[in-house]
A and B are shown apart, each in its own frame.
Chain A
Amino acid sequence: MATPLKNRHLAGWLLASPMAFVLLCFLVLPIVMIVVVSFWGATEFSIYPAFQFDNYEFLLTSPVTYSVFLNTFKYALVTWAFTLVIGFTVAYFLAFHVRSLTWQVALFLLCTIPFWTSNIIRMISWIPFLGRNGLANSTLISWGVIDEPLDWLLFSDFSVILAFVHLYTLFMVVPIFNTMMRIDKSLIEAAYDAGATGFQTLTNVIIPLTKPGIMIGSIFVVTLVMGDFITVRFMSGSQSANVGRLISNDIGLLQYPSAAATAVILLITVLIVIATLLRFVDIRKEL
């Protein structure tokens, strides 16, 4: 039988090419560009092509860099811990406690409702709630829990992490829920049959089988938090910095080479983190 595409390899390449083209134009080229620019030089008013390590040298010898990276890691770690606990609990409830599929779908969609508004709006709406004279403080005062308004509610690490957890928990819920739904319910019965308590079933059966989902969710949350700058800016009232803000500041000052160098270092850091995570769990079977 004659086929227009006799060469199966050719057909494969052609089918893959649109996506490859998109990735090349919008992922590979920009990254190459950033890497190239990171070696350029800059003065107060101009940037010029060059191949020099000044940007990296400055970056890697400045104590600011280390404290900002440390802060970024802190945000990532704390947010990861909270989103993991909350995300796992929500997914567990949806997957194992809600019996009917209809309710599972309905409740799952409910989780996504916040995503109908933009990130920024959801973030900003915390500000009147947490402010010095905001809803939270005035409620607590009227209940008599506190006498003075709490200052640390807004424009603090607390508010930054609160916003991160609020924004990104769903990225943990979805993959964990997905993995949990694939767990054969008779495994839970088998564990129960073998005398396992609810907690033993959780630690010996459910958590090990949910690991790939946990890992995918972790990758989402960690990369999102490490690359974020707007949440930190708004919620810390410009009082805290993370790597994203470092880059955004450089761009504001037209210091593109320096921004590019920071971006390259951040990219490498995130890739190392993901590579480390992937060493623990094989997520390929989940994809």
Chain B
Amino acid sequence: MRSDLDLELVALTKRYGTTVAVDAIQHLFHAGSYACLLGPSGCGKSSTLRMIAGHEEVSDGAIVLAGHDIAHLPPAKRGTAMMFQNYALFPHLSVIDNVAFSLKMKGVERAERRRRAGELLDLVHMTDFAERLPAQLSGGQQQRVALARALITDPQVLLLDEPLSALDPFLRVRMRSELKKLQRELGITFIHVTHGQDEALALADEIVVMNNARIEQAGPAREVFNAPRTEFVARFMGGHNVIALPKGHFAIRSDQVTVTLPDQGKLEGRVTGLEYQGASVALTLMTAGDQEITAVIPEDRYFAKPIQPGDGVGLSWDDTNLHALTA
């Protein structure tokens, strides 16, 4: 289902000299969705985001937003806004002046722009800090200010460059639920770059996995996690085993592998490692063909019939849970 405000990347390419950072990628971001660009560092996800934002020149291809090619417009004319990785708040301006900055640049009168900035600060619950300087705020507070500053331009697409990476783990979990809530309230498209699959799974309506300047797989979070199409995606998303079987390579979730008696499984193996994880127990197994497989077993089932490292076991699974991998 397409809408007027969709963002589409058409054969978008970024070259630095002879290296290709983004290789003719093609993707449609649906309006009002929360999309995560996920991938290891150097995969081209940040370059893609910066091209959409207008901070990186497009080598080839088009970026279409609301029916117009915005690939060569200045950032402020695109209908996008960017939230920078380290927030990039102006250290010499108070919180409210930071938020009002773009209105000041447009020549909006002082009282009006402060009123508008006040509304945005209210949205991110930072009204009490309006007169502080960024250096006097915590990381999470700075992030809210950066968010308010990006949103004051009424963007159709908000671009977030690893927004949570500067926060401590506890705050990260809290801020990500706030981001998600805000996105739902505002109803605009969020494109969020991250290298953390847990972050992507928690936030995204749609995950776009990138590797080596290309999109490996894109789709709803559940689909990408449950049905990885390539070995890279299966390994990067985690929680999967990649098994070589006579018919080819397959991915299967670790918690869908069951352990049986040695002669009753589809594969035979030996336990090499054992890790207690609270709700479950992760067994590392080595099969006959020297393949390492992880089986995650619910805690109660494991302790009903404990297995020790060195024991021989059989491995079994439901064939419908196997996903054929193309590469």
Contact = CB atoms under 8 A, between A and B. Distances in A.
Given A193-B81, A195-B105, 7 more contacts: A186-B86, A189-B82, A189-B88, A193-B54, A193-B102, A196-B102, A204-B104
Given A195-B153, A209-B91, A209-B92, A190 B84 contact: yes
B156 to A, nearest CB: 15
B101 interface: yes
Interface of B: 53-55, 74-77, 81-82, 84-86, 88-92, 101-102, 104-106, 149-150, 153
B84 A186 contact: yes
Interface of A: 184, 186-187, 189-197, 200, 204-205, 208-209
B106 A189 contact: no
Contacts of B85: 186
Contacts of B90: 187, 190-191, 205
Contacts of A209: 91-92
Contacts, number: 61
A203 to B, nearest CB: 11
The 5 A-B residue pairs whose C-beta atoms are closest, nearest first, are A195-B76, A194-B102, A190-B88, A186-B88, A196-B105
Nearest to A186: B88
A193 B91 contact: no
A177 B101 CA distance: 25
Given A194-B76, A194-B153, A209-B91, A189 B84 contact: yes
A193 B55 contact: yes
Q: Which of A190, A191, A197, A208 has the most CB of B within 10 A?
A: A190
Contacts of B102: 193-196
A197 B74 CA distance: 10
B57 to A, nearest CB: 13
A278 to B, nearest CB: 17
Contacts of A205: 90
Nearest to A200: B105
A192 B101 CA distance: 11
B88 A194 contact: no
Nearest to B85: A186
Given A192-B74, A193-B55, A193-B81, A187 B88 contact: yes
Given A186-B88, A205-B90, A191 B75 contact: no
A184 B90 CA distance: 9
Contacts of B76: 192-195
A184 B153 contact: no
B104 A184 contact: no
Nearest to B155: A193
B280 to A, nearest CB: 42
Contacts of B88: 184, 186-187, 189-190
A113 B242 CA distance: 63
B84 A194 contact: no
A204 B54 CA distance: 21
A208 B104 CA distance: 16
A208 B92 contact: yes
